[in-house]
Structures are given as C-alpha cells and as structure tokens.
Amino acid sequence: MDDDKVFKALADPTRRKLLDLLCEKNGQTLGELCEHLDMARQSTTQHLGLLETAQLVTTVWRGREKLHFINPVPLHDVYERWVRKFERHRLGLLHDLKTQLEGE
C-alpha cells in the first residue's frame, strides 16, 4: 500500500464525498455519482481516477456500464498503522484512570 496516495486521495472533500456515496450504495455508475455532486463529469472522473490509483475504489464493467465500488482495505491499513497505535495508548490511560478512580 502507498500511504501517500491514500492520504492524498483522502485530503480532498470531493473524494471523501465520493467514498461516502459509495459507502451508502456500492456499485454506482459515474452518472449516479454525478447526481450528488455539483461538478462536471470530467472532474468527477478525475477524482475517481485518484481514488482508483490509491486503491480506495475499484471498478467492474457490467455491459457498457462501469460500476464503482469502495475498497475498504487501504482505509483499514491506514487505521492499523496510523490510528490504532495512538488509540491503544489513550484507551490504556483511560482504563488506568478508571481503575484509580474506582479504587481497585
């Protein structure tokens, strides 16, 4: 996984909106996604391309339709590498504080 590509993709609010839309209803066409965005199809296609490059979105052709699907694996990898280690420490501190306050 290329963390830089994932973080770059997530840095843009439009790309996060696209991921939210796919999370709500996976397997949407470009036209369906464009219905929820105030931008040209070409701009949406460029955003989807960056999401595909970051492997956050995968596509499948069904006849003449190109369906877009969210791929949660890179998000999970980012969580495991960048969020979980900080969360573990914070939760440990909260547990210790709880134990202290309850006098156990």
Q: In the chain, what are the domains?
A: 3-102 (1.10.10.10)
Q: For residues 99 and 14, which has the higher predicted lDDT (pLDDT)?
A: 14
68: pLDDT strictly greater than 90: yes
Task: Report the Cα 56 to chain-centroid distance in Å.
Answer: 6
Contact 69, 58 (CB under 8 A): yes
Q: What is the pTM of this model?
A: 0.80
- Read off the pLDDT band of 44 (50, 70, 90): very high
Cα distances (Å, whole numbers) of residue 3 to 48, 57, 68, 74: 17, 15, 21, 8
